[in-house]
Amino acid sequence: MKNLSKLIARLAKFYGKPKPPLTTDPFELILFESVAYLVTDERRAEAFELLRKTVGTKPHQILAATNNALLRVAELGGMQPEKRAARLREIALIAMNEFGGDLSEALQLPLTKAKKALQKFPSIGEPSAEKFLLFTRSYPVLGLDSNGLRVLLRLGFGEEKKNYSASYRSVQEAIKDQLTDDYDWLIDAHLLLRHHGKELCKTNRPLCEKCPVNKVCAYNITEMIHHRGHGGIDKTD
């Protein structure tokens, strides 16, 4: 069985300790997820900080904001700014109508109900809900984004299924016995796996030769065997 903690330690040694999340407030985490689309992490952070500075990040502040103020933020966050400006207002309405403007009680619900509560917000699926519960230190769950999920699948944790949700559950089942209740470790693991997926373990043409865990990676080993079978030369030898 592959040792998850050793793999995370190797990633930490290679990349260094990751920076902590920009916020640990549950409503701000939802806003951060929705404030930008298909942009760099830096641009998303810029858009979020502009929202904080010019509008505020409380539900009532967003509902009181002008359309132009929200549009200015959304334009910094990439394509379809009108749609995302409206989405920010929709998120604020849900927060007010469903949670009285405060999500703290929802985080104290049993895990399944807490996840369902967060999934009332648009575009928030189970992975994002688990990430929010981790970052707010509500539940010690290793929520994974698509990058982190891809890394663990390639390393041999779980199996890729016909749909994303099934693949996600397969990985979670595979790693559950290796997880700890240490929030700091879990948050670092999430951030390191995500970073590795963006930097080296990319969807297309992953840079396996540079990877710090390539010697125990099922995907890389399979690729090496395939390459040798076609008369290629293994670059990692």
In 3D space, the residue among 9, 2, 5, 15 whose CA is nearest the CA of residue 216 turns out to be 2
Mean pLDDT calculated for residue range 22-27: 94
Beta strands in 38-157 (DSSP E): none
Cβ within 8 Å of residue 9, ≥6 positions away = none
pLDDT exceeds cutoff 70 at 134:
yes
Q: Give pLDDT, residue 95.
A: 97
Q: State the pLDDT at residue 234.
A: 43
**Average pLDDT score, the chain:** 91
Q: Are 134 and 190 in contact (CB under 8 A)?
A: yes
More confident position, 78 or 230: 78
Confidence band for 220, pLDDT divided at 50, 70 and 90: confident
pLDDT category of residue 229 using cuts at 50, 70 and 90: low
Q: What band does 219 get if pLDDT is binned at 50, 70 and 90?
A: confident
Q: pLDDT digit string (tens) for 178-201?
A: 999 999 999 999 999 999 999 999
For the chain, what percent of residues have pLDDT higher than 70?
93
- Measured over the CA atoms of residue 123, residue 128, residue 133 and residue 137, the dihedral's sign is negative
Whether the predicted pLDDT of 235 surpasses 80: no
Instruction: Answer yes or no: are the C-beta atoms of 235 and 188 closer than 8 Å.
Output: no
C-alpha 18/C-alpha 32 separation (Å) is 18
Instruction: Render pLDDT for 59-97 as a digit per residue (tens, 0 to 9).
Output: 999 999 999 999 999 999 888 999 999 999 999 999 999
Q: Is 16 left (phi over 0), alpha (psi -120 to 50) or beta?
A: left
Could you read off the pLDDT of 29-59 as tens digits, one per residue?
999 999 999 889 999 999 999 999 999 999 9
CB 189 within 8 A of CB 142: yes
Strand partners, 149: none
Distance CA 30, CA 237 (A): 45
Nearest to 197 by CA among 186, 207, 184, 187: 207
Give 154-177 pLDDT, tens digit per residue. Answer: 999 999 898 999 999 999 999 999
User: Dihedral sign, CA of 130, 135, 141, 146?
Assistant: positive
User: How confident is the model at residue 233, as a pLDDT?
Assistant: 43
Check residue 236 and give its pLDDT.
Answer: 39
Residue 1 has pLDDT above 80, yes or no: no
Global pTM reads: 0.88
Q: How far is residue 172's CA from residue 201's CA, in Å, rounded to a whole number?
A: 19
Angle in degrees, CA 162, 128, 168, rounded to 5: 25
Q: Which SS3 state, helix, strand or coil, does residue 28 take?
A: helix
| Domain architecture of the chain: domains with CATH | 4-18+143-228 (1.10.1670.10), 26-135 (1.10.340.30)
CB 74 within 8 A of CB 82: yes
Q: Which residues contact 83 (CB under 8 A, 6 or more apart)?
A: none
